[in-house]
Amino acid sequence: MAAGLRWSHVGLNCTDQKTTEEFYTRYFGFTRARVVDLGPTQIVFLRKGDAYLELFAAGETEPARPADDDGPQAPGRMRHLAFQTDSVDAFLAELGDAAEVTLGPLDFDDFICGWRTVWVRDPDGVIVEVSQGYEDDGTHDKDGA
């Protein structure tokens, strides 16, 4: 690994930065870390622990068709963002009417006892996976070998 290399952020293009910021702060626990003023536009940085989301105002292009299921499958496209929770059902209850479920909730007990996942769409159509109970199998070292 390159010296000092570590995770930085995911950049999201937003139809409405305020709506997207409210979604991730209210339901995923992010807080505003910084706003970079670029004159007519701004970049909003949200933080949760070591994870950052960088929110950009979307350009004046035709919006892409929202992804379905667990996200787009085309090469070169991000499939989905993913988060862990203690309870998928409690998370969905908290989202209430804001939850646009695209897939699930699904149980993966055949693979890991207690693993349960749901996929929801954020305000800009990005698919967000929320899981409970996933665990590494412990057979791989830190380099994945």
Q: At what angle do helices 17-28 and 88-95 cross, to 10 degrees?
A: 140
Q: What is the dihedral of CA 42, 97, 86, 119, to 10 degrees?
A: -70
25 in Cβ contact with 31 (< 8 Å): yes
The rounded percent of the chain whose pLDDT value lies above 90 is 43
Model confidence, pTM: 0.77
Task: Give which of 109, 108, 100, 106 is closest to 128, Cα–Cα.
Answer: 100
Do the domains at 7-59 and 79-136 have one common CATH topology? yes
**Residue spans per domain, the chain:** 7-59, 79-136
Beta bridge partners, 36, equal 43
Homologous superfamily of domain range 79-136: 2,3-Dihydroxybiphenyl 1,2-Dioxygenase, domain 1 (3.10.180.10)
Question: Does the pLDDT value for residue 2 go beyond 60?
Answer: no
pLDDT tens profile 77-134: 778 899 999 999 999 999 999 889 999 999 988 888 899 999 999 998 899 999 998 8
| Highest CATH level, class, for 7-59 | alpha beta
